[in-house]
Amino acid sequence: MQTDSHSTVNGTPAKADLLLDKDFVIDRVDDRLFGSFIEHLGRAVYGGIYDPGNPRSDQHGFRQDVIEMIRRLRIPIIRYPGGNFVSGFNWEDSIGPREQRPKRLDLAWSSTEMNQFGLHEFCDWSRQAGSQVMYAINLGTRGVDAARNVVEYANHPKGNYWSDLRRENGAAEPFGIKLWCLGNEMDGPWQIGQKTAYEYGRAANECAKVMKWVDPSIAVVACGSSSSDMPTFGAWELEMLEQCYENVDFVSLHRYYGNQKNDLSNFLAKSMDMDAFIKTVASLCDAAGAKKKSKKKLNLSFDEWNVWYHTLDQDKETIAQNRWGEKLHLLEDVYTFEDALLVGGMLITLIRNSDRVKIACLAQLVNVIAPIMTSERGCWAQTIYWPLMLASHFGRGTSLQPVIKSPRSSTCEYDDVPLIDAAAVLGDDESLNIFAINRSIESDVQLECDLRAFGAIKLDETISLQSDDLKLKNTEEKPDSVFPKVRKYGSRVENGNISITLPAASWNVLRFSKEIA
Ligand code: AHR
C-alpha cells in the first residue's frame, strides 16, 4: 500500500484532520435511512421472525426474542415481501384463513412458499417490531390490476370489495402502508418476468398512477438498475424514467460487495464505489427530469445494500439438493469483523448522501444475509448488527459535511483512497456524533478534530468496533466476540480542538455534547 506524507513515521501514528461547522449542512437525515428488508427466502420468515410452536414465540407465532433484537436496532421501515420472490407472488394467496391459503412453487429461490405468513401477519408483526411497512408489488407476473387491488385492500377504509374483505379477514382499520416498491430488479435476467427499460417504465407508470388514484397519500419507488455492474446501468434509468418520471417518487439502488480476493484494503474501499453509484444515479434522475423540463426532484431509495458473498457456492448446492424445499438454509452468510467495517463504511456513505438518499434498507434482517441469526434455541447478533445499531441510534438529526485531510492509498481497484472516512450528525438536542472509519490495516491514525464552530462542547464517549482478528465472527456459541467497546471521557474540548486516536482497522462513533455551564 502506498501512503503519502501523513503515514506512520518511525512508529508515530499517522495523522488526519477533520473540520466541521454547523453551517456545512448536507440535509436532514431521513429516519428511513436505517431501514431493513425481509423477503420470503430461506429462513427469514419461517423459522426466523415466524416460528409457531417455539417457546420463544407469542400466540401469533412471532418470535419475541427476535422482535426484541430488532427493536434494539430501531428499524424505522422494513421492505417486504421481496426481493426476487415478489416477481412470482400473488398477494391474494397470503390473506384469509390460513388453512385455505395455497402452497406455491417459488421460482425465484426454487423453494415452496407456504403462505402461512402474509400481509396481515407482516403488518401486525411490524407494529410489534416498531417499524413501518414498505410493500413491494409484483411487476413480474402481475400488473396494474393486482397493484390497484392491493392498495385498496391495505389502505382503503371500508365500503368496497377489497377493503371489506380486509375487514372480514380481521383488520377493521386500514394498514396505511405509505411506501410501495414498483416491482424488484426488473432489469435482471434472473427475475421472473424480466422487462426492458421501456416495458418496465410503462408498467411502473401505469401502476403508480392508479395506485395513487386509490390512495393519493402513498409514495412509490421505481426500480433502478439492480447494480451498477449491469450492462444496461445508466441507459436503464434514463429510459424507464422517460416513461414514469412524473408519477414516481424514488428510484431504487441495490448493491452488494464481497471480499473474494481477500484483499482488505480494496474491500474497505468499496464504500467509495457506493458513493459514486449514488452520485451517478442522482445525476441520471436529474438528467431525466431536465429532459422533461420537470420541476420535480426524484430522491433515492437504496433499498438493498450489504456484504454478500460467503455462501454463494453453498447456496447453489443447497438448492440443487433440496429443490422445492421449505425453510432452506439459504444466504446464511456468517459475517466477519472486516464485513462489519465495510457495513460501517457504507453507513458513513449513506449518511453523507442524505440530501438524495432518503430510504435505505440493509438487506436483509433475519437469517438471510442478516445482522440477526436464529436457531430453535435463541438468536444472536452478527458482527454487522453493531454498526447498524450505532448508526441508527446516533445518526438521527442533520448530516454535516466534514472536511477531511487524510493520508491516502491506492488499491487494485481504487486510486486515491482516504484512510479516514467520516460522516457527522448534529442531533436535535445539539449532540454531535462523528462516525469515522480507519481503513488502514497497519496504522492507528491520530484524528485532529477542529470543532471550534460548536462552542463549549465535551467529548462524552467513543464507541469503537475494533479487533486484531479481521476474520473474527459471532456465532451461537460465541455471540459476543465482536462487540462495541465504549470508552467514557467527559472531557472538555479545549479551544475547539481535540485529537482522538482511531485504531488501525476500526469503525468509531465519537460522541460529543454541549457543555452545560
Ligand atoms: O437480497 C437477496 C436478493 O438480492 C433479492 O431477492 C434480490 O432483489 C437481490 O438480487
- pLDDT one-digit tens code per residue, 223-259: 999 999 999 999 999 999 999 999 999 999 999 999 9
Q: How many CB atoms lie within 10 A of CB 157?
A: 12
Residue with the smallest CA separation from ligand 1 atom 7 is 83
SS3 449: strand
Contacts of 418 (CB under 8 A, 6+ apart): 16, 404, 406, 407, 408, 439
Give the side-chain half-sphere CA count within 13 A for 474: 24
Q: Which pLDDT belongs to residue 516? A: 79
For the record, the C-alpha cell of 372 comes out as: 440477526
Contacts of 182 (CB under 8 A, 6+ apart): 137, 139, 147, 203, 204, 207, 208, 220, 221, 222, 223, 248
More confident residue, 6 or 412: 412
Quick check: 78 pLDDT over 90? yes
Q: Which pLDDT belongs to residue 12? A: 64
How far does residue 517's CA lie from ligand 1's centre (Å)?
52
State which ligand 1 atom lies nearest to the alpha carbon of 256: 4
Q: Which helix (H) or strand (E) holds 16?
A: strand 14-19
Residue with the smallest CA separation from ligand 1 atom 4 is 83
Q: Which pLDDT belongs to residue 6? A: 42
Residue with the smallest CA separation from ligand 1 atom 2 is 83
Specify which residues 256 forms β-bridges with. 306
Quick check: 1 pLDDT over 50? no
3-class secondary structure per residue, 324-366: CECCCCCCCCCCEHHHHHHHHHHHHHHHHCCCCEEEEEEECCE
Spatial distance between the Cα atoms of 182 and 31, rounded to a whole number of angstroms: 22
How far does residue 83's CA lie from ligand 1's centre (Å)?
5
DSSP string, 58-103: -TTSBBHHHHHHHHHHT--EEEES-SGGGGG--GGGGSS-GGGSPP
Quick check: 24 pLDDT over 60? yes
State which ligand 1 atom lies nearest to the alpha carbon of 185: 8
Residue with the smallest CA separation from ligand 1 atom 3 is 83
Q: Which residue reads 456513505 in cell numbers?
A: 349
Specify which residues 511 forms β-bridges with. 433, 461
Q: How many CB atoms lie within 10 A of CB 516?
A: 6
Quick check: 172 pLDDT over 50? yes
Quick check: 344 pLDDT over 90? yes
Spatial distance between the Cα atoms of 172 and 218, rounded to a whole number of angstroms: 20
Arithmetic mean of pLDDT, 473-477: 97
242 annotated active-site: no
The widest CA-to-CA distance across the chain, in whole angstroms, is 77
- Residues 39, 185, 206, 237: which is the catalytic one? 185
Residue with the smallest CA separation from ligand 1 atom 9 is 83
Q: Which pLDDT belongs to residue 9? A: 42
Dihedral in degrees, nearest 10, Cα atoms 190, 191, 195, 201: -130
304 annotated active-site: yes
> Which amino acid does the sequence have at 469?
D
State which ligand 1 atom lies nearest to the alpha carbon of 306: 1
Quick check: 8 pLDDT over 80? no
Q: Which pLDDT belongs to residue 36? A: 98
How far does residue 102's CA lie from ligand 1's centre (Å)?
24
Arithmetic mean of pLDDT, 476-489: 97
Ligand 1: residues within 6 Å at CB? 39, 82-84, 184-185, 304, 363-364
Output Rg (C-alpha) for the chain, integer angstroms.
Answer: 23
How far does residue 85's CA lie from ligand 1's centre (Å)?
8
Quick check: 363 pLDDT over 50? yes
Q: Which pLDDT belongs to residue 7? A: 47
How far does residue 84's CA lie from ligand 1's centre (Å)?
6
Q: Could you read off the pLDDT of 285-309 as tens digits, one per residue? A: 999 999 999 999 999 999 999 999 9
For the record, the C-alpha cell of 139 comes out as: 411487476
Closest C-alpha among 497, 418, 407 to residue 15? 407
Q: Which pLDDT belongs to residue 5? A: 36
Arithmetic mean of pLDDT, 107-124: 98
**β-strands 299-307, 250-257 pairing:** parallel
Spatial distance between the Cα atoms of 221 and 139, rounded to a whole number of angstroms: 12
Quick check: 484 pLDDT over 50? yes
Q: In a mutational test of the pocket of ligand 1, which residue from 36, 78, 184, 191 has the highest number of ligand atoms less than 8 Å from its CB? A: 184
Residue with the smallest CA separation from ligand 1 atom 5 is 83
Contacts of 327 (CB under 8 A, 6+ apart): 42, 43, 46, 47
Whole-model pTM: value is 0.96
Quick check: 73 pLDDT over 70? yes
Q: Could you read off the pLDDT of 130-144 as tens digits, one per residue? A: 999 999 999 999 999
Q: Could you read off the pLDDT of 79-93 as tens digits, one per residue? A: 999 999 999 999 999
Q: Which pLDDT belongs to residue 11? A: 56
Quick check: 463 pLDDT over 70? yes
Residue 179 is classified by DSSP as E
Q: Which residue reads 462495541 in cell numbers?
A: 484
Q: In a mutational test of the pocket of ligand 1, which residue from 80, 304, 311 has the highest number of ligand atoms less than 8 Å from its CB? A: 304
**Residues 357, 350: contact at Cβ < 8 Å?**
yes
The whole-chain average pLDDT of the chain stands at 96
Quick check: 3 pLDDT over 60? no
Q: How confident is the model at residue 491 (pLDDT cuts 50, 70, 90)?
A: confident
